[in-house]
Structure 1
Amino acid sequence: MTFLTIPSGPLRVAAIGAHPDDIEIGCGGTLLTLAARPETEVRSLVLTGTPERQAEARDAAELFGATAPPRFGGLADARLPSAWAAVKDALHAFRDEFPQPDIVLAPRPDDAHQDHALLGSLVTTVWRGPLVLHYEIPKWDGDLGRPNMYVPLSVDTAQRKVELLHRAFPSQHSRDWWDDEFFLSLLRLRGAETLTRYAEAFTASKAVLHVW
């Protein structure tokens, strides 16, 4: 296992989700960890969402350390593949609005949900320079993969992530899978894979190592 460290100094992070709560479920702990660093700027794009869900996404972005309200694509949930051109346009508009991020966080291209998969496949055609980390979203489909990048989380950060998920997304509380155990169990599993208590996992399809 190789350990990498992000150098100190300014950091620009772009977080992209198909639906409100995707970003926070997939990489909320990482966002909290990055936001604790000085000079970190976090912006987000959410492609779908009713007005109620968009309001939740705005609350969540603030709670998880975003430095600006999320941008919304205004597209239909579960229909993103049929709106391919609009998704691509939204990604390019977001890139132009928030240029040159250091890290882009997005769903996995092999995610079983069609909206997630489309975003995961398109982000690397829109951003070619930054480190693109594909986060995982646990769900009924049972499509967890084999990640190759991890961000360890402190116990406080893991618990804070779950607390903020509950606070930000009350519309989801009635779902049968929405509870502390569901969220913490995956963080614990990924932590065991990194010799830590908790961690979030990502897939990076391509990375460039600069040797100085």
Structure 2
Amino acid sequence: MIELSLPAGLLEVLCVGAHPDDIEIACGGTLLELAAAREVRATFVMLTGSPERRLEAAAAAEAFVPGSEVRFWDLPDGRLPAHWGEVKAAIEELASSLRPDLVLCPSKTDSHQDHRLVAELVPTAWRDALVLEYEIPKWDGDLGRVTHYVPVSAENARRKVSLLTTSYPSQVDRDWWDDETFLGLMRLRGVECRQQYAEGFVIRKAVLTLGE
């Protein structure tokens, strides 16, 4: 399996979620690995969320990547496509001030309409960044093939699921929210890249620079 790497130095990371907890569920392990391995400046963006969930999301961002900036928009959960113009304006406002090296966002094939709209708009705003589309396990059963993997240590895999539970107490009574769900998906993605645990992503477009 061919390994790819990110550029050296300070890494500007933008994490975009339609809802609080999307980011940490999908790529919390990746964020823990990045924060442990190098200097990262992260911005977490969520387009929906009640006051209670905003407090949870702010605490989660600090737990996963200390010192992160967190931004919220007050758009209606489950109805983002009906507010296309406002979502587009939010993305453009972010793009006017943020120049990330790496963008983490939902997948264009996600069954949730809010996730899918965010995934469609993000690449139009950050054309020069590496965009990784993340996956979120859910009732819809929309998990598909991924193109790239980020190995996650056993320590960080377990830390991810622990932080999810402590950061989002409002969600722990959901029937799918448990350690087995989160560890299980990371374990399966790990099998696919010969690691114990990993998180999977889709890259739609990338440039391969050929060196000597």
Q: TM-score under structure 2 normalisation?
A: 0.97
Identify the residue that residue 127 of structure 1 maps to in structure 2.
Answer: 126
Shift of 1:124: 0.9
The 8 Å contact of residues 60 and 165 in structure 1, kept in 2 or not, is answered as yes
Shift of 1:66: 4.9
Q: How does 1:21-40 map to 2 (within 5 A)?
A: 21-40=21-40
**Cα distance in 1 between the residues matched to 2:45 and 2:196:** 30
Which amino acid is the alignment partner of residue 28 of structure 1? G
Root-mean-square deviation (Å):
1.0
The 8 Å contact of residues 45 and 94 in structure 1, kept in 2 or not, is answered as no
Q: Does 1:97 align with 2:83?
A: no
* CA spacing shift, 1:165–1:58, aligned 2, 3 Å: same
What 5-or-longer segments of structure 2 have no aligned partner? Answer: none
Q: How does 1:141-152 map to 2 (within 5 A)?
A: 141-152=140-151
Q: TM-score under structure 1 normalisation?
A: 0.97
What 5-or-longer segments of structure 1 have no aligned partner? Answer: none
Identify the residue that residue 42 of structure 1 maps to in structure 2.
Answer: 42
Which amino acid is the alignment partner of residue 91 of structure 2? L
Aligned length: 211
Which amino acid is the alignment partner of residue 176 of structure 1? D
Structure 1 residue matching 2:37: 3-state secondary structure: coil
Which amino acid is the alignment partner of residue 94 of structure 1? L
CA deviation profile, 1:84-107 (whole Å, cap 9, x unmatched) = 011111111122232x21100000
**Cα distance in 2 between the residues matched to 1:23 and 1:71:** 13
Shift of 1:9: 1.2
Which amino acid is the alignment partner of residue 112 of structure 2? H
**Cα distance in 2 between the residues matched to 1:20 and 1:144:** 20
Shift of 1:181: 0.4
Which amino acid is the alignment partner of residue 76 of structure 2? A
CA deviation profile, 1:69-98 (whole Å, cap 9, x unmatched) = 310111010000001011111111122232
The 8 Å contact of residues 42 and 69 in structure 2, kept in 1 or not, is answered as no
Structure 2 residue matching 1:36: 3-state secondary structure: helix
Which amino acid is the alignment partner of residue 197 of structure 1? Q
CA deviation profile, 1:6-25 (whole Å, cap 9, x unmatched) = 23311110000000000000
Identify the residue that residue 163 of structure 2 maps to in structure 1.
Answer: 164
Identify the residue that residue 137 of structure 1 maps to in structure 2.
Answer: 136
